Amino acid sequence: MMKLANSIAIDAQTCLKVLVPSDGQTIFNILTKQRAYFSEWLPFVQFTHKVEDSKGFVAMAIEQRKTKGEYVFKICHEDRMVGLLGMKDTDYINKNTELGYWIAQDFQGRGIMTKAVSTLVNELFASHKIERVQICCAVGNEKSIAIPKRLGFTLEGIKRNGEWAGNLEFRDLLVFSKLKTDK
């Protein structure tokens, strides 16, 4: 199991910081303020009705950091949480992980998420013996899809019905990957 730093600098204004229990309230506030926007692409938003839901997510993320070495970071821009970036389904035997992310609508289009993902991927490759990073994006979520494309990930294919979107609907996911050996 790997150990990452609790804070990773991205640039002079932006960094990644591990989640702490008090972040549940902030996450809930961001999701509530932009519920309509986030609901289009983030299925978990439909289950986030009270602050305890977000606090439970944070508690789970902290526990998984301790027990599984999977990190969820808050993206802080000018000392303000603007989104999340985290690892999931990490396989340390085969040295691969998947990343998931979201950023508040009013902070999109500034390159923050692209730089955050790039920084974390580089950290995972350079210091932590991860050989493959995967990102799955819902078909049609062009803003999310642009990030792995910008960072030189390879489109491997489509994971059919890869994500339950709610209302008895599934959506296909584009599967992107980047290997440590990729340039």
pLDDT tens per residue across span 108-126: 999 999 999 999 999 999 8
This prediction has a pTM of 0.94
For the chain, give the number of residues. Answer: 183
Q: Residue 33 contacts by C-beta under 8 Å, 6 or more apart in sequence?
A: none
Cβ contacts of 174 within 8 Å, gap of 6 or more: 136, 137, 138, 139, 145, 155, 157, 158, 159
Give the pLDDT confidence score for residue 4 in this predicted structure: 85
Domain boundaries, the chain: 7-130
- pLDDT value, residue 1: 62
**Cα distances (angstroms) measured from residue 116 to each of 10, 53, 113, 152:** 6, 25, 5, 15
Tell me the mean pLDDT in the region 40-56: 90
Q: Residue 130: name the closest of 119, 139, 138, 121 by CA.
A: 121
Question: What type of residue is 164?
Answer: W
183 has pLDDT over 90 = no
Task: Please give the CATH topology (third level) of the domain spanning 7-130.
Answer: Aminopeptidase (3.40.630)
CA 44 – CA 180 distance, rounded (Å): 30
Q: How far apart are CA 79 and CA 26, in angstroms?
A: 13
Segment 66-83 shows an average pLDDT of 95
Neighbours of 183 (CB within 10 A): 4
